[in-house]
């Protein structure tokens, strides 16, 4: 089903529901002219029958409706139809009360006045039912926020990766920070000053041989997933470039749409990617919505280098950086296990001044890394402290000992894993997290941010864009982001 026909179905569905509810609730007088309650069990049964018909119309007569489309229609029911029905009921209640008129002044004391007939007869007091209806009205502004405000509330997320010299290992620092789009770019990140970065007191940007070293700034971009390049996508690129990254990593999913739409947007996509530039290079991998050769064509003539199950090495800011880019299995036909087995021998050994980054679209690759054997043949198990599970963030600069090790001596094969794909879930609930992630990794990891998993420091981007097609274009408690990871040395 194409987008226009789905949009027509969505509009018709909501209007039909409101019309059906209005018809069911319209007749308010009995056969002898007596007033009957606005809501009765008979009318509720009629409304339920109308609702069942709507569900059959929605989900039974539209075989092209995909799961995202079903979620979209349910979302519209919650933020449009339900508040609309609540408004109709409350308006009918107010008009009904006014039609009865106030009690005649002086006819009886206030304490002796009796309220008129209740409009509600479903077992709840009138005040309780009205309270529920008023609460339902607030779903409408919530829908406006989730559909039109938060999806464009772009933020710059910051994280700090601290790499020790003895033994050589990397872990997340406790300090984190956020810059909103309206707030500009942090001068501290641009200058690399450790005090301004808010790093712990024992962490200094020093060279492994004791010489001063500037932090290595890694820009992380993922899931633009646009159908048309606009101000939002340009703002994301401009925000990232204003942070002056020395190396940029794009975790895939550039464009989602038809081949015709891609051809029309190709010049704009190239112009957008052409703005990405960094001294250490710009590296990208394909995502699941990047059709065959789409990302390569968009990157042609730009500084972006697309990695397809290959390793790239660069030197920048005194660091030697090796980037292993894993291609999307749906496009390459090579699964993660096979690709990793072939690429692992090419990964440089762990040593001071060397940063080894695994760039991949789906964080599910961590499940493959977690299956590796520890020295001695013990199976690697996922390591995550309980407090990290709850907070969804790392709690210290130390790397937890444990699984997922590919080198002798128990050292992880990569110092950092960067992924996207999940969009942070797009919709997250308090104390629960993302409702849907489309990933096999735990929800606390798919929610995005800096974590440890299987012994690896991981950064999962919430992405810039939204799931397209029939999916509801919403974000709730999960704003879009670009990220800057500052890699520093620790004494």
Bridging pattern class, strands 481-490 and 216-221: antiparallel
d(CA 85, CA 137): 9
pLDDT at 8 over 80: no
Query: Per the structure block, which two tokens stand in for 243?
Result: 């942070």
Residues 332-355 have a mean pLDDT of 88
d(CA 219, CA 247): 6
Helix (H) or strand (E) holding 486: strand 481-490
3-state secondary structure of 460: strand
In sequence order, what are the residues at sequence separation of 6 or more whose Cβ sits closer than 8 angstroms to the Cβ of residue 404? 366, 369, 370, 372, 380, 383, 412, 453, 454, 455, 456
pLDDT at 411 over 60: no
d(CA 213, CA 281): 19
Residue pair 281/320 in contact by the 8 Å Cβ criterion: no
pLDDT in tens, 22-36: 665 555 444 544 555
d(CA 305, CA 301): 10
What are φ and ψ of residue 46, in 5° steps? Answer: -65, -40
* Domains of the chain from N-terminus onward: 3-137 (no CATH), 154-490 (3.60.21)
Residue with tokens 């799931």: 467
Which pLDDT value is given to residue 352?
79
In sequence order, what are the residues at sequence separation of 6 or more whose Cβ sits closer than 8 angstroms to the Cβ of residue 42? none
Residue pair 178/155 in contact by the 8 Å Cβ criterion: yes
Q: Which residues is 433 bridged to in the sheet?
A: 429
pLDDT in tens, 240-290: 999 999 999 999 999 999 999 999 999 999 999 999 999 999 999 999 999
What mean pLDDT value characterizes the chain?
76
DSSP string, 75-107: HHIIIIIHHHHHHHHHHHHHHHHHHH-PPPTTS
**Maximum Cα interatomic distance, the chain, rounded to a whole number of Å:** 97
pLDDT in tens, 280-323: 999 999 999 998 889 999 999 999 999 999 999 999 988 999 99
pLDDT at 38 over 80: no
């Amino acid at each position: 089903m194409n987008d226009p026909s789905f949009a027509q179905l969505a509009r018709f569905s909501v209007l039909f529901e409101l019309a059906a509810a209005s018809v069911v609730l319209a007749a308010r007088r009995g056969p002898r002219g007596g007033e009957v309650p606005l809501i009765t069990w008979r009318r509720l049964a009629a409304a339920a029958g109308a609702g069942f018909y709507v569900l059959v119309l929605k989900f039974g007569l539209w075989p092209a409706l995909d799961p995202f489309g079903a979620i979209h229609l349910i979302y519209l029911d919650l933020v449009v139809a339900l508040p609309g029905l609540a408004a109709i009921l409350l308006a009918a209640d107010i008009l009904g009360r006014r039609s009865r008129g106030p009690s005649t002044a002086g006819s009886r004391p206030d304490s002796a006045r009796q309220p008129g007939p209740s409009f509600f007869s479903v077992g709840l007091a009138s005040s309780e039912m009205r309270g529920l209806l008023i609460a339902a009205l607030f779903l409408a502004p919530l829908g406006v926020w989730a559909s039109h405000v938060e999806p464009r509330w772009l933020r710059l997320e910051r994280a700090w990766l601290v790499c020790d010299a003895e033994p050589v290992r990397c872990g997340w620092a406790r300090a984190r920070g956020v810059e909103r789009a309206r707030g500009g770019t942090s001068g501290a990140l641009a200058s690399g000053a450790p005090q301004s970065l808010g790093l712990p007191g024992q962490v200094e940007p020093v060279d492994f041989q004791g010489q001063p070293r500037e932090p290595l700034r890694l820009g992380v971009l993922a899931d633009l997933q646009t159908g048309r390049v606009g101000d939002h996508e340009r703002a994301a690129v401009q925000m990232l470039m204003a942070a002056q990254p020395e190396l940029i990593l794009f975790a895939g999913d550039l464009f989602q749409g038809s081949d015709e739409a891609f051809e029309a947007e190709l010049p704009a996509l190239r112009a957008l990617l052409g703005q990405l530039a960094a001294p250490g290079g710009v590296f990208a991998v394909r995502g699941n919505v990047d059709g065959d050769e789409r990302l390569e064509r968009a990157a042609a003539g730009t500084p972006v280098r697309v990695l397809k199950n290959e390793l790239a090495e660069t030197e920048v800011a005194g660091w030697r950086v090796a980037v292993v880019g894993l291609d999307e299995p749906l496009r390459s036909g090579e699964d993660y296990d096979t690709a990793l087995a072939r690429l692992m021998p090419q990964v440089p050994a762990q040593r001071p001044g060397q940063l080894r980054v695994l760039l991949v679209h789906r964080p599910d690759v961590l499940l493959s890394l977690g299956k590796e054997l520890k020295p001695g043949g013990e199976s690697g198990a996922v390591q995550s402290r309980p407090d990290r599970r709850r907070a969804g963030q790392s709690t210290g600069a130390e790397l937890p000992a444990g699984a997922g090790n590919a080198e002798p001596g128990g050292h992880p094969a990569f110092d950092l894993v960067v992924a996207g794909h999940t969009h942070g879930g797009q919709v997250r609930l308090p104390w629960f997290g993302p409702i849907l992630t489309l990933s096999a990794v735990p929800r606390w990891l798919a929610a995005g941010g800096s974590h440890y998993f299987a012994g690896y420091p991981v950064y999962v981007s919430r992405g810039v864009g939204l799931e397209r097609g029939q999916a509801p274009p919403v974000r709730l408690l999960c704003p879009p982001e670009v990220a800057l990871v500052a890699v520093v040395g620790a004494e």
